[in-house]
Structure 1
């Protein structure tokens, strides 16, 4: 059996790792020219389902590395006014934090990835690319994100839906001063019009140091505060004028290379396409709002589920069962994320517990 994965994001790479461990031939094809080609996202929270999927798909030698480059999120969720006076508090939560870019490098280790391969379409199970090359496989998996070119051919009626919410996301290297802004699991600061959401990414060990011990090249990423400002102002610095000096300093000290303006859209799998030897995974078919905290976890779960089924069954049977389960929980994940979105908008946070 040979599997062609289109897209080298977290879900596609997790699937590739799992297939390699199972002895299945797999190649990954990525449109970007290289691993550092663009901003790769921010700190995410791993739920048990996502962490279990990673441990099931990664080779055992990488399990200690995964533990080293994650961190623990725990405690209360506090909301402040612009002068850092507490307004409200939500019940405590616990999760595992991981940096998306660092995790992607862990998942790249040992995987056969072809960069600079823009997918243009498929004929049967032949995937074709803009450079005139192609690959034949027993299964094509579209793991190519919210603007999926594979989905555009397989299920053209399923398209992204704009939620209308815009945000600015940033990353600021962690200092003791900024650490005080996040006393627990996460925090928020609001003036009633704009809200700043804050969360920590504190690695158990420096990623590059931990990776070097296993011969894995990881980014030299420091501990940091991940922040999200929404609705997105035209100038983040001006939006926090008059706020507490510590908050202003955090926004002004952000790393421009790891900051972005985002338009939040979702993809909901509302209908079934004809099952066959082409399928979809992760954001390509169930892109969630980041407010649900379940997008990456769902994609990683997709990878584990599809890997397990391909090991147990013939390709057509495996794909049909995978899609039956994935489409159901994928739609639930999207609905949950949209329902949670209003909690992250000014004046609405804390209404639900």
Structure 2
């Protein structure tokens, strides 16, 4: 069996690793000109199922390394004012396994056949049931299955399910990261909580590695090369719906909305890496009608992009990868045919993916009351 995966995000790479481990040929095609073309290094909170999914997709020899580069975390999920006084609670406390996206992505990239500068322009299903993917700047590729793991603006979804389109909630947020030093020790109660004031919300989360990733790889898995990064604070400011930066940089736009806030909060933003600070929009993709069965399917944000306030985007994509991996292994071993395997995956994925989007949107008004959810 040959599988073509479009998109080198966490879900697509996890699927490729899982198939590779089972002896199934899997190639990844990424539209970016290089793997490092965009910074993708913010912390993620994985639930136990999401963490187990990525673990199951990786070779067992890398499990000790994976365990060493994550951290257990819990947060009270408080609501704080700009002076860090508690004024409420978001709900029950949250626990999880924290991982850095950039580090995890480098681990998932190891040993894979990844083709960059490969923007999909379309595909054709051939008479023999194979699928031929076409790209802007490379020769077509034929496979038994084409998987669209290419995000909210999925080119694969544009052909497979053109009536399923992204919905813009109108919410914008600035995200960045700042080295975690002793200067910010007093901010610990704010990690995992919401700081609210002046019509905006600021969310903080700490990333503390059990062992620095580069050192951990050198000791536990010499065949893996991981980024040389240290502990940091990931912060995100949710702006009013349809907020813009006007002529300001992302960093300056955040600081301009924090006049009179706690000095350590100011320092946290001032000391952020400007190259890793950016404005993003919150768009969702709600699974719509099922498409006709065939040798093309979707995974992750390409079919169920969630609001980050739900904390379930990466978890759901990794669940997709592991579920599809297991079904394709059954097909490769002759225990079922390919279309049946893909169909069963899609039925399950549509059900929990729809719920993941619904749940994330339900939680968005707690951070952005004027979000456009219709």
* Band the TM-score falls in, shorter-chain normalisation: over 0.9
Residue 127, structure 1, aligned to residue 133, structure 2 = yes
Residue 18, structure 1, aligned to residue 26, structure 2 = no
Once the two structures are overlaid, the 10-residue window that deviates more, 286-295 or 336-345, is 336-345
Structure 1 Cα separation of the partners of residues 87 and 293 of structure 2: 51
CA deviation vs aligned residue, 1:271-311 (integer Å, no higher than 9, x gap) = 11111000000000000000000010000000111110111
Shift of 1:179: 3.5
Kindly indicate whether the alpha-carbon contact (under 8 Å) linking 1:178 and 1:225 is maintained by their aligned counterparts in 2: no
Residue 226, structure 1, aligned to residue 244, structure 2 = no
RMSD (Å) for aligned C-alpha atoms: 1.6
Equivalent position of 2:92 in the other structure: 91
Equivalent position of 2:188 in the other structure: 182
Structure 1 Cα separation of the partners of residues 210 and 54 of structure 2: 18
Structure 2 Cα separation of the partners of residues 179 and 112 of structure 1: 42
Shift of 1:59: 0.1
- TM-score scaled to structure 1, two decimals? 0.95
Shift of 1:192: 4.5
- TM-score scaled to structure 2, two decimals? 0.90
Residue 293, structure 1, aligned to residue 311, structure 2 = yes
Structure 1 Cα separation of the partners of residues 111 and 138 of structure 2: 26
Any stretches of 5+ residues in structure 1 without a counterpart? Answer: 349-353
Structure 2 Cα separation of the partners of residues 284 and 41 of structure 1: 20
CA deviation vs aligned residue, 1:6-47 (integer Å, no higher than 9, x gap) = 111000000001101111111111111222111215211101
Kindly indicate whether the alpha-carbon contact (under 8 Å) linking 1:68 and 1:205 is maintained by their aligned counterparts in 2: yes
Equivalent position of 2:74 in the other structure: 74
The 5 A counterparts of 1:1-353 are: 1-89=1-89, 90-124=91-125, 125-183=131-189, 186-213=192-219, 214-215=221-222, 216-231=224-239, 234=245, 235-312=253-330, 313-345=336-368
Structure 2 Cα separation of the partners of residues 233 and 190 of structure 1: 18
Structure 1 Cα separation of the partners of residues 232 and 368 of structure 2: 23
CA deviation vs aligned residue, 1:321-352 (integer Å, no higher than 9, x gap) = 1111111111110010011111223799xxxx
CA deviation vs aligned residue, 1:118-159 (integer Å, no higher than 9, x gap) = 111111101111114111100000001100000000100000
Kindly indicate whether the alpha-carbon contact (under 8 Å) linking 1:267 and 1:334 is maintained by their aligned counterparts in 2: yes
Shift of 1:233: 6.2
Any stretches of 5+ residues in structure 2 without a counterpart? Answer: 126-130, 246-252, 331-335
Shift of 1:264: 0.4
CA deviation vs aligned residue, 1:233-255 (integer Å, no higher than 9, x gap) = 63111111211111111111111
Equivalent position of 2:128 in the other structure: none
